[in-house]
Chains A and B, each alone.
Chain A
Amino acid sequence: MKRASKIFTALMFIFLFAPIAILLLFSFNEARSLSVFSGFSLKWYRELLRDTETLKTVRNTLVLAVCAAGVSTVMGTAAAVGIHRMRSRYLRSALDMVTNIPMINPDIITGISMMLMFVFVSRLLGLANSLSFVTLLIAHITFCLPYVILQVLPKLRQMDASLPEAAMDLGCTPWGAFWKVELPELMPAIVTGMIMAFTLSLDDFVISYFTTGTGFQTLPIRIYNMTKKTVTPDMYALATLIFFVILALLLLSNLTDSEDGQKVRAARRAKRAAGRRAPMSPRTRRILYAGGGTLALAALAASLIFAVTETDDRPPVLNVYNWGEYISDGSEGSMDVVKEFESWYRQQYGRPVQVNYTTFASNEDMYAKLSSGAVSYDVIIPSDYMIARMIAEDMLLPLDFDNIPNAQYISDDFRGLYYDPDNAYSVPYAYGVVGVIYNANVVDQADTGTWDLLWNEKYAGQILQFNNSRDAFGTAMYRAGLDVNADDHGPWDRALDDLLEQRSVVRSYVMDEVYNMMESGEAAVAPYYAGDYFTMLDAQADTVDLRFYYPEPTNFYIDAMCIPSCCQNKELAETFINFMLSEGPAIANAEYTYYASPNTLVYENQAYIDYMGQEAMDILYPDWGGFTEKYNAYAYRNLPFDTLNYINSLWETLKIN
């Protein structure tokens, strides 16, 4: 029995720590991969330490978690005691039910519903920038509270009710009985509740995503937004560091705390029963608790004051909202474009400027945030069809090109495109073309060249497909020669039939997982963007030989810089856009993202061509034979709501088959 339980415990801990071991291992990987280990290196730790944006989000996450855990523990414990003593059964069960709600609500709805309320209230009060640290804190406290209460409440119910009564009979006030008898008994549950609250707050991203405002981003959000590209190993380095810090703290506390708690508790009880003062050690412990609490509160207050003073004498702020992993950030010796802009601006204008750079995961997320009216951004970088929608809904401001002289370097191919026919609202940032990536060690050369490879039964179980409806339907529609922007249902039904037929040969529906699966040889065929092919090429395993081709026709997309109507400082925003178009930053961004640039300063630059290599240049910048016409014919357009709704129900049909 004893032995069996030891083995069981050991196996459970192996299960719990296996992924941590993987993180640890791959944080030392030389390549940018979580599936192919190519050599030992410390470079991701160096990257992490100089990645100020990530470190800032770590600080934000910790401040938030400490505040949320502190407030919800105090309020939750008080509430549990109150609920337990409540004499009205009706009120008690009502409160019980309300307490369960945040746990029963899916995160995404808790997030959306709170956002809707905050927006409503701020409109009522006329506050422009209502989503902020405070709303995020309120949301976190709200979803942490039930966990604290549900820890403490069962303990209260389990506790011997005669104990506080005995204390009161012996002359204690109800408060005194609570502090001296009940609270020490409840302490383990309270501490567990607090740790749970802290942990939940630390790890939450869905609720944070909806309730966070301009400029305050937490680590989970940053990681989630990386999924357009791939999660970088410096995140594993961060996880590893956190692991060792916690481990060190654990060892330390175990070394200092050598007393046997059970015995002390028993002794304390016995002595109290004998009417004497409690022994020293629990008292010391109480002092420790109080000290720890004070320390936490002080840290909280300090960070709040820090945050407030920071907002007070801050230089003008520029809020930039972009896709995750979509700007050169200084990693691996590249240019930190945001920092570069700040120092360039100070030099040019003799005054400081601060850029608040935050990221989003999809056009739809960004749109939801902006249309809520509760945030304010100065520069955003959405995709073409979203720009068309935002122009139609008056959400973008026309640009003053006198402030953006560098726009002249944008190639003529990118003028007069459907989403902004008069080139009034946007300046292209990068563009992408969907192609097919395949492993030449598995796929026969003769089978490549068209969309049919994605349906080829020879490679059943090794084919990947997009895990979002628009792109997946797109592959089927380009293959069948259908209009990807069709309004009527016919073409979409037809595409669904093709996708249903394809399902039997599909290995996975993927987004960013495509990197791991293609690099490791787990899958052999995948549709994805040309730029991302090069990211995979850098990290492919020895047994894998990735190649790329464009099927005809295929999808083109453009991401462009725009100024939303909530912009607070338009001239500064235009200065930033102009800076992004200048040679150095534009090349740095193109080299970092591997996406094709519409900027002649970039693709005609010899250093850039040398850096990318001729092969890459041929893939990224082929002779399209009339880019503008092809783009206008095949790019996605904004579809009416009913059509999107219909596609979504077809997508569900595909997924439940």
Chain B
Amino acid sequence: MNKKARRGSLVTGVTSAPYQLWAVIFIVVPLIFVAYYAFTDNDFRFTTDNITRFFTATSSVTGAGGATGEVRTYMVIVWRSVRLAFLSTVVCLLLGYPLAYIISRASDRAQKTMMTLIMIPMWMNFLIRTYAWMTILQDTGILNNLLAALHLGRVHIIGTETAVVIGMVYDYLPYMILPLYSIMAKMDHRLIEAARDLGCAPAGVLRRVILPLSMPGVVNGVTMVLIPSISTFYISQKLGDGMFFLLGDAIEGQYVAGNLHFAAAIAFILMVALLAAMGVMRRLTDKYTYGGQ
């Protein structure tokens, strides 16, 4: 046993070494550049102004009742980004989870076909796909013409938060389905049958067997959807009619205005917050998946 473990760790050292080196040079070092920019001004002198600006900058806003008030600019942007990203992630999970499960239970051939079908849209440029959604959702678009032809009235979607969420769900759904499917395909279905045979109700099977078994897939799927949707700017510009300003828009705007240091500061804060959130999430799910077994 001892000998085996030693040999095992020998293999370990060899296999992950290139990645460790790569990660230090191309992941950690550029990160230091972001931090360096975030904490310096245009003349590269140390400053915390960029960070304080993010938390304290205010704007006056006119509310629905016509009353004006001061709000913290970036807190409003953060709140909206987080809300939309969270909403998109939940919708992706609610749609992706059953679909991944259905696919994983299908015949081998059907599984392959359906997974390829899910990947296909991603191979068409996402800028162009987002354009296509504009054509579908706009007031004179395909959806409204269809509804009108069926005498169902018209809906105004484009330019609303709903349109942005639809766009995000569409673009990121495959990132939810793929990790879920890859876990579920390996899941031992005899466990489910056993639970059923032992008299477990369908809800119980889901909660006590399927969900814990697929938890690593859920964590990966949520990560893969949450991150891009929190920092997107193209989707909000195209489907949100430019009416919404998300964190990605703020970073891009600062970059175009030539304010690299403040852009880096926003990114730095976002990064720290997300890393912390992911750390907590991983700790919780590790406990759940490993502790439960």
Contacts and interface: CB of A to CB of B under 8 A. Distances in A.
Contacts of B24: 98
Nearest to A18: B136
A165 B251 CA distance: 50
Interface in A449-487: 467-469
B51 interface: no
Interface stretch (B147-155, B178-186, B192-200): B178-186
Given A16-B118, A19-B136, A247-B120, A82 B19 contact: yes
Given A16-B173, A35-B138, A508-B242, A649 B73 contact: yes
Interface in A582-617: none
B183 A154 contact: yes
Given A112-B255, A154-B179, A522 B30 contact: no
Nearest to B103: A9
Contacts of B242: 467, 508-510, 655
Contacts of B31: 101, 105, 113
- Give the secondary structure class of A's interface: helix
A656 B12 contact: no
B18 interface: yes
B16 to A, nearest CB: 2
A569 to B, nearest CB: 30
Contacts of B128: 23, 223, 231, 235-236, 239
A243 to B, nearest CB: 7
Given A8-B98, A16-B173, A81 B123 contact: no
B196 to A, nearest CB: 13
Contact of A242 (B28, B123, B178): B123
B77 interface: yes
A316 interface: no
Contacts of B258: 364, 367, 641, 644
Interface string A348-371: 000000000000001011011000
B77 A656 contact: yes
B86 to A, nearest CB: 16
A302 interface: no
Given A205-B127, A653-B60, A656-B76, A516 B134 contact: yes
Nearest to B98: A8
Interface SS of chain B: helix
A645 interface: yes
A105 B273 CA distance: 11
Given A82-B19, A174-B7, A113 B33 contact: yes
A648 interface: yes
A367 B258 CA distance: 9
Interface in A164-222: 165, 168, 173-175, 178, 188-189, 192, 195-196, 199, 202-203, 205, 219-220
B55 interface: no
Interface in B173-217: 173, 178-179, 181-183, 185-186, 216-217
B39 interface: no
B264 A112 contact: yes
B220 interface: yes
A524 to B, nearest CB: 12
A500 interface: yes
A142 B26 CA distance: 7
A134 interface: no
Contact of B271 (A5, A105, A205): A105
Contacts of A507: 159, 241
Given A117-B30, A120-B33, A151-B178, 17 more contacts: A20-B129, A95-B23, A100-B223, A109-B34, A112-B263, A138-B26, A150-B224, A151-B220, A158-B216, A202-B123, A205-B127, A239-B128, A468-B256, A508-B159, A509-B242, A516-B131, A652-B253
Which 7 residue pairs spanning A and B have beta carbons closest together? A82-B16, A509-B242, A79-B19, A508-B241, A106-B231, A19-B132, A113-B30
16 contacts: A19-B133, A82-B14, A85-B11, A106-B247, A107-B228, A109-B264, A147-B224, A155-B186, A188-B186, A508-B243, A509-B241, A510-B242, A645-B262, A651-B253, A653-B61, A655-B243
Interface of B: 4-5, 7-20, 22-24, 26-31, 33-34, 37, 42, 57, 59-62, 71, 73, 76-77, 80, 95, 98-99, 102-103, 107-109, 112-114, 116-129, 131-136, 138-142, 159, 170, 173, 178-179, 181-183, 185-186, 216-217, 220, 223-224, 227-228, 231, 233, 237-238, 241-245, 247-260, 262-264, 267, 270-271, 274-275, 278-279, 282
